[in-house]
Chain A
Amino acid sequence: MPAQDSILRLDATAIDYLIIALYFAFVLGIGYLAKRAVSNSLDFFLSGRSLPAWVTGLAFISANLGAIEIMGMSANGAEYGMPTVHYFWVGAIPAMLFLGVVMMPFYYGSKVRSVPEFMLRRFGPPAHLVNAISFAVAQVLIAGVNLFLLATIVNVLLGWPIWVSVIVAAVIVLSYITLGGLSAAIYNEVLQFFVIVAALLPLTIVGLHKVGGWQGLTEKVTGSPGGGEQLSAWPGNALSGFSSNFLSVIGIVFGLGFVLSFGYWTTNFVEVQRAMASKNMSAARRTPIIGSFPKMFVPFIVIVPGMIAAVLVPELADFKANGSGEVDYNDALLLLMRDLLPNGMLGLAITGLLASFMAGMAANLSSFNTVVSYDLIERYVIKDRPDEFYLRTGRWVTVVGTVIAIGTAAIASGYSNLMDYLQQLFSFFNAPLFATFILGMFWKRMTATAGWVGLVSGTATAVLVFILSENGVIDLPGQGASFVGAGAAFVVDIVVSVLVSLATAPKRDEELVGLVYSLTPKEQRTEVTVRGDHGWYRRPVLLAGISLAMTIALNIVFG
């Protein structure tokens, strides 16, 4: 859409620009400060494994609180209402808790530096290569998508040309990551988290005030085209695409809650890297668990504003009733900002959006440079150099990754549908990965050959289902197709892995200590209490229990 006549153009003034500029000054400042702490490659790629759990916990969710999350979930909120909370309460929290309680001991305890490296130790080079290459490609492409979305928003809101915003944003992210490495990315993610909350919470409060409180929102949503069912999370038929209530609940719990979300949260190195950067085993396990507490309340500042926009903004209410108009659900947050926020708070809201776009991109790049440097270059291309070499390589890889991301952004600006497909496709990749990991961690008989064969056949299944659903052979509206695709990939991966394992020779037990549950002594799987880790509120399993109980309570209250 041409920027000149966008109805979304915000009336930003000098004071708003001041607020935006202040934020970027802080972002670069953090990069500079973090640089002083980087003296070797472990500092650069894993923050020297020194960060406290609350920092990595907030970074853990902030890395995921990117553009797609905020704009996408508020759009879903406007379209479907409360059932969108399943992406958080069913589709994230159980998997995050599982990662902290069950899987983190293997990741952190085995001292691997990346998720693909775990793959290498458990299954050997073929599985490692498949995993490392597909991960690196996915990350750099997604970084490009984030970059492009950021530029589009800046273009629509402020009228800057797309290529200017692409380059400015890329240079800012690049500067702080090459300076400070993962620490800079993580510290900025924590800062971003607070800025995003400071931007969205006031928007939600003003929106609720204007709509007449929760009471007013309830009445208006009930009277809107969506009707009263948009006020309760279950059974969420519109979201899952199944007409039967029973199938819808099953689809959400198993498809979204189990296969899709466990795949994403437990094997995605972007997330796991944050936990690996923490200072000890206890902090690593607490990282996703601490992250789950803010995560369960994110819907209230993302989905609720979407719902408010759908009843409060005339253009959007019109779109919801007629299905056509100048705006669509993706504009929900922007429209609400335009209508409700005075200058000042408006600048902060724009800052919050920019922060979230950059968070996503920085997270992609900081895990990309680790996997490319440690898993591809150090392992297969240029071996046995001194550590400074890999530190320098990491900085250059970041530069190359950013340049590729700019290229991807340029492609995305020409073929926006292509990028949608890619993103959807990548979401399928995690399901077979999770199947391979979980089988490999709990079944010592699983062989190296089974590792990569299972992974490849699972991924092929995901791609096949994706192609079939794109061509209309499998016809499921809503999220149904990705639930089925991920589910099929998971099952095929497990079946193939088991069959291949039975036909090939397993690794010796001694090689699998620390990598497989039954061969890892309990002391190695649990944290030794060290100074600063005392107190019941620092016990991972107890914290996870509290988090789970709170999530169930939220489901009952808003069910």
Chain B
Amino acid sequence: MADQTSTPKQKAGAFDIRVVIAALIGSYGLVLTILGIIADPAEVAKAGGLNINLWGGIAMLVFAALFVLWARLRPIVVPVDEHPRE
């Protein structure tokens, strides 16, 4: 986004907040899923038998995948500067 006036249509490159969100939530999903798989049964019992690390982790991985998909399908297009700067 540094030089947004150079070409009329330009993809925003690395800094798409959706990708950043997906990266963070995806890493959490990965860590939690692994923790869920190797979970100590006593810990699982704490949550009433629900392995929340595993299910939460999987849900976060799915969420991250959807966000990446969204960013891929609708990339940010930086238009020519429509508002003259004050």
- Please determine whether A23 and B43 come into contact, CB atoms closer than 8 angstroms: no
Mark B19-51 against chain A: 1 for CB-CB distance below 8 A, else 0: 011011101100110011001000110111110
- Supposing A341-B47, A341-B52 touch, asked if A22 and B21 sit within 8 A by C-beta, the answer is no
Residues on A with C-beta less than 8 A from B85 are 40, 42, 48
A531 to B44, CA, bound (A): 51
Mark A20-45 against chain B: 1 for CB-CB distance below 8 A, else 0: 00110010011001101100101000
Residues on B with C-beta less than 8 A from A502 are none
- Please determine whether A202 and B17 come into contact, CB atoms closer than 8 angstroms: no
Interface members, chain A 40-57 (any B CB < 8 Å)? 40, 42, 48-49, 52, 55
- Please determine whether A37 and B82 come into contact, CB atoms closer than 8 angstroms: no
A155 to B1, CA, bound (A): 40
Residues on A with C-beta less than 8 A from B15 are 33-34, 36-37
Contact of B52 among A49, A339, A342 (CB under 8 A): A342
CB distance from B48 to the nearest CB of A (A): 4
- Please determine whether A19 and B28 come into contact, CB atoms closer than 8 angstroms: yes
B14 located at the interface, meaning its Cβ lies under 8 Å from any Cβ of chain A in the complex: yes
Nearest neighbor of B23 in chain A, beta-carbon distance: A26
Interface members, chain A 183-222 (any B CB < 8 Å)? 187, 190-191, 194-195, 198, 202, 205-206, 209-210
Residues on B with C-beta less than 8 A from A209 are 47-50
Nearest neighbor of B40 in chain A, beta-carbon distance: A342
Residues on B with C-beta less than 8 A from A339 are 46
Mark B50-86 against chain A: 1 for CB-CB distance below 8 A, else 0: 1011001100100000000000000011010011011
Interface size band for B? 35 or more
Contact of B53 among A30, A345, A531 (CB under 8 A): A345
A19 to B27, CA, bound (A): 9
Mark A337-356 against chain B: 1 for CB-CB distance below 8 A, else 0: 00111111100100000000
A18 located at the interface, meaning its Cβ lies under 8 Å from any Cβ of chain B in the complex: yes
- Please determine whether B17 and A205 come into contact, CB atoms closer than 8 angstroms: no
- Chain B contact residues: helix, strand, loop or mixed: helix
Residues on B with C-beta less than 8 A from A49 are 83
Contact of B48 among A18, A195, A210, A530 (CB under 8 A): A210
A111 located at the interface, meaning its Cβ lies under 8 Å from any Cβ of chain B in the complex: yes
A15 located at the interface, meaning its Cβ lies under 8 Å from any Cβ of chain B in the complex: yes
A342 to B32, CA, bound (A): 10
Contact of B47 among A48, A52, A342 (CB under 8 A): A342
- Please determine whether B27 and A206 come into contact, CB atoms closer than 8 angstroms: no
- Please determine whether A22 and B24 come into contact, CB atoms closer than 8 angstroms: yes
- Please determine whether B79 and A531 come into contact, CB atoms closer than 8 angstroms: yes
Residues on B with C-beta less than 8 A from A195 are 24-25
A52 to B32, CA, bound (A): 31
Contact of B35 among A191, A198, A344, A530 (CB under 8 A): A344
Nearest neighbor of A194 in chain B, beta-carbon distance: B21
A111 to B86, CA, bound (A): 10
A207 to B84, CA, bound (A): 52
A531 to B80, CA, bound (A): 12
A530 to B46, CA, bound (A): 54
CB distance from B5 to the nearest CB of A (A): 10
A19 to B52, CA, bound (A): 16
CB distance from A397 to the nearest CB of B (A): 19
- Please determine whether B60 and A42 come into contact, CB atoms closer than 8 angstroms: no
Interface centre among B39, B52, B77, B86 (most CB of A within 10 A): B52
- Supposing A22-B28, A23-B24 touch, asked if A342 and B17 sit within 8 A by C-beta, the answer is no
Residues on B with C-beta less than 8 A from A210 are 47-48, 50
Could you list 5 A-B pairs, sorted by A, with CB under 8 Å?
Answer: A22-B24, A22-B27, A52-B76, A280-B83, A344-B36
Q: Which residues of B contact A (CB under 8 A)?
A: 1-2, 14-15, 17, 20-21, 23-25, 27-28, 31-32, 35-36, 39, 43-44, 46-50, 52-53, 56-57, 60, 76-77, 79, 82-83, 85-86
